[in-house]
Structure 1
Amino acid sequence: MNKITKIALGAVTIASAAVLLAGCGSSTSASKAPKAKDKNINLWTFADMKPQIKEYEKEVPKGYKIKETVIPYADFQTKLDKVLGTSKAPDMVALDAGFVSKYVDSGMLADLAPYGVKKATKDSFPYTLDIGKNPSGQQVAISYQAAPGAVYYRSDLLQKYLGIAPDDQTAAQEAFSSWSAVEKTAETIKEKSGGKAYLFSSLQDMYMPAIGGRTEGWVKGNKLQIDPSLITNLNMMKTFVQQGLTQNTVGQNSDWFSGMSSNNVVAYSLPSWGLFYWLQDYAKGTAGSWRVIQGPQSYSWGGTWFGAVKGTKDEANAAKLAIYWSTNKKFQTWQATANADFVDIQSVDKTVGDNFDGSKVKGNPLGTQNPYPVFSKAATKINGKIITKYDQNIQQLWINDVINTYCNGKESEAKAIATFKADVKSAYPNLTTD
């Protein structure tokens, strides 16, 4: 998920916006694209998108009338599942990274090819497109943002314990260049601080990059797979707990957040949107002291995809709006500048990055550092092909059954993994787990 702010900056010319929107289906014969019954779009989303709707209406005042229905994240899938395939289904859906693949593979989303998606997405990050393709290779979902992960660190504390200058991101990256380097850095911080400071607050700061940066998906050919890198990561986390190299809080709880304003946590692994969604809100008194680097591996965390529901009376309008929000450069520029977002069109991120002025961003945790080059480099290395419809549940089982038990000494590695496999089998009887 990303934070939707209430700021609305910039506008595009009505003429250019209307031309792009009208031309979304130009690359494929009109006979292959359903005709919309009217100019309405019924949008279901898990996060309020009124700022995006208002900006669209400003740019295209004679465009579509968008009716937004915001459903709490926890209830979104249950309610959507009940109406898909019925006359009560929405025309358009916003899908979080945690469950987008479930609906991409469902057969319920419209192929966006007749609306010109291939031509429109030539400058999109490849991984977001891969995630939005169904098993037949059809692009049925498209993202308006990219969400690469990164390491955010306290430059003053890294200088204190490692002697790295505050703006020497090259040296900082070297200290986080691999997981073995990360472990050495953590040991140095513990030694130099007399055990009063930790490299990371929680195990989440280690397992989110590892899970997001796998080379193998959780499921292949209906068989459960555990990427070997996850076992390496698991044993490293066990070492961190045993040797007191992590504060060992629970990710995203009050203690984890409070570390952002303390002097005893050096770094956090966060997505691009975590900069202004989490770090800015909780780094009280430490704003300006943080810097961002890629860290030991590229990974993604979060994001929002749009899809048009197949067979609704306004499927065509929904498909065109999804493409517009995700590829129109002026709208994407507004999204990046108004909402402090890292968007899916690479040239827009480059332009926004080239014009970045950190001194104008009030309360920016990074001071004047420009994060766009870091995010852009990381996003090009993300593998979207490993994502499957099983991921959200299997990932949570891995965290609960294996990481939380084995790393904290509650179960042996073998017992924890056996429990994990049994729970996966219980949730998905069709999968082979042995």
Structure 2
Amino acid sequence: MKTKKWLGLSMTTVLAAGMLAACGSNNNGGNASPSASGSAPSSPASSAGASPSASGTDASKPLEGNLVLWTYFDGVKGLAEQFMAKNPGVKVDVQIFPGDQYQTKLMSALQTGKEAPDILDLERGYIGKFIDSKYLADLSSMGAEDLVKDYIPYVQALGRSSDDKLRAIADTSSPGGFWYLKDTAKKYLGTDDPDQISDMVSSWDKIIELGKKVAQDSGGKEHLMENAGDLFDIEAYNTQPWVQDGKLNIDPKWKDIYETQLKIRQNNVDAKLAFMSAGWGNALNDGSVVLTAMPAWAGFMIDNKDDKAKGKYGVAKTPDGYYSGGTYHAIYDKSKNKDLAYEFIKFAASEEWQKYNLDTTGNMPGTSKVFEANMTTYKNAFTGDQNVLQPFYDMVKSIPATKPDKYGEDILSTWRKVASDGVTNNKSYDDVVASFKKEVKNTFPELKVD
């Protein structure tokens, strides 16, 4: 994860255990909250089937060989370790490159072919810059369509190139929701029931009215939400693509989103705390803000020293489903170990691994089968008896399935910056759009901007 530089010292203890467990552009699918399901991981089974795989591997023989995997995310070590435990004849050398240097190093290796990895990880924030390149193997031709046939639609779509071929596959879905301390919810909302709270915050109009009440009841000291920017995060992938036919496309929905953000700020609904800042983390832990929009994998931000957070939290649905981040595994097209690398991809996409990952890290699966099979049995230490898979599953099913492109994330980041400034300075939507178009035109002169 690209951790914000301004994380305060007050979160150091919490982060020490969790930093290696999470990832994302703001974030992404990594180790998350501890599981309390109590179920043991399924017994390792042979990855070989009864007949040769579509990739050409002889399924009657144990897998053997060496793989090099490049990633930016320490949590992938767990995936590699489980794959090697199933296949003792295989060694996976996981090489981790921190921060921004990863993209540069990866692109250089792919272009030159020198010391390029067999398997490479791509984050949601920049997968669009690689997905249409000639360097990623066509997984569809290797049989991968079968691997994702039961996947959450948007998780599958994000691994597809513009020609609709699968080029990368994730093993998590990285959904978010409104997390809350039950005691705080009871105090200001009158209930800690996740279904009731989900109904109370099922629209932004409801949220604004509820936020006004929380501010009034607390004398302006407490707030319903952490930041008006939460609305941006929740709606970001529920909008049309930013570029269509070489032209900048501003979904009309962004006007409603921006003007709602202004109302949130003007009515004292949010605490003005930036995502992952020290204040944001403190509010999550001390209950000075009622609702925290947070992806499932970010449970490491909860201070659980001596199990003090056990059963103290709930998760409610957000007005629209959203996700944050995502780690995608791809194969270098010129790898000499493509068949073996594909076996690794198969394992990452398997129900076996994703169930194990859910139980041990709290990461939400990429396949709907794991959601459905564990809906009433999976428990998380933080959320106690709540069947927490249900709200996440309800939300992920509603998220549009959109393929990535090389412009989307950069333009989205530009909008976030310009709109955030607009909210802070109470600017009109038209002023924000004018500033936004100017920045897009300067950054991407090849795009047509009206």
What displacement does 1:174 show? 1.5
C-alpha separation between the residues in 1 aligned to 2:390 and 2:428?
42
What displacement does 1:254 show? 0.8
Post-superposition Cα deviations, 1:235-273, rounded to whole Å, max 9, x if no partner, equal: 111122223221112221111111112232000111121
* Aligned residue runs from structure 1 range 3-402, under 5 A: 3-4=30-31, 10=41, 12-14=43-45, 16-19=46-49, 23-25=52-54, 39-48=65-74, 49-62=76-89, 64-88=90-114, 89-163=116-190, 165-167=191-193, 169-214=194-239, 216-274=240-298, 276-279=299-302, 287-326=310-349, 328-358=350-380, 361=381, 364=382, 366-385=383-402, 387-402=404-419
| Paired position in structure 2 for 1:35 | none
Look up the SS of the partner of 1:415 in the other structure. Answer: helix
Please tell me whether the aligned partners of residues 379 and 388 of structure 2 are also in contact (alpha carbons under 8 angstroms). no
Please tell me whether the aligned partners of residues 47 and 343 of structure 2 are also in contact (alpha carbons under 8 angstroms). no
What code does the residue aligned with 1:213 have? Answer: N
What displacement does 1:312 show? 2.0
What displacement does 1:386 show? 5.8
What displacement does 1:287 show? 5.0
What code does the residue aligned with 2:209 have? Answer: K
Please tell me whether the aligned partners of residues 137 and 331 of structure 2 are also in contact (alpha carbons under 8 angstroms). yes
Please tell me whether the aligned partners of residues 293 and 374 of structure 1 are also in contact (alpha carbons under 8 angstroms). yes
Structure 1, unmatched stretches of 5+, are: 32-37
CA gap of 1:229–1:344, structure 2 versus 1, over 3 A, is same
C-alpha separation between the residues in 2 aligned to 1:79 and 1:157?
46
C-alpha separation between the residues in 1 aligned to 2:399 and 2:219?
37
What displacement does 1:4 show? 3.5
Please tell me whether the aligned partners of residues 32 and 297 of structure 2 are also in contact (alpha carbons under 8 angstroms). no
CA gap of 1:413–1:213, structure 2 versus 1, over 3 A, is same
Please tell me whether the aligned partners of residues 129 and 142 of structure 1 are also in contact (alpha carbons under 8 angstroms). yes
C-alpha separation between the residues in 2 aligned to 1:76 and 1:117?
26
Look up the SS of the partner of 1:383 in the other structure. Answer: coil
1:431 matched to 2:447? The reply is yes
Bigger shift: residues 92-101 or 2-11? 2-11
Look up the SS of the partner of 1:414 in the other structure. Answer: helix
CA gap of 1:390–1:354, structure 2 versus 1, over 3 A, is same
C-alpha separation between the residues in 2 aligned to 1:399 and 1:11?
42
What displacement does 1:412 show? 4.3
Post-superposition Cα deviations, 1:80-120, rounded to whole Å, max 9, x if no partner, equal: 11121322221111111111222112232111123211122
Post-superposition Cα deviations, 1:267-291, rounded to whole Å, max 9, x if no partner, equal: 01111212x2323569996653321
What code does the residue aligned with 2:361 have? Answer: N
TM-score when scaled to structure 1? 0.87
What displacement does 1:142 show? 0.8
Please tell me whether the aligned partners of residues 143 and 303 of structure 1 are also in contact (alpha carbons under 8 angstroms). yes
What code does the residue aligned with 1:124 have? Answer: Y
What code does the residue aligned with 1:253 have? Answer: S
CA gap of 1:337–1:162, structure 2 versus 1, over 3 A, is closer
Structure 2, unmatched stretches of 5+, are: 1-27, 58-63
Equivalenced residues, count: 411
Look up the SS of the partner of 1:153 in the other structure. Answer: strand
Q: Percent identity?
A: 24
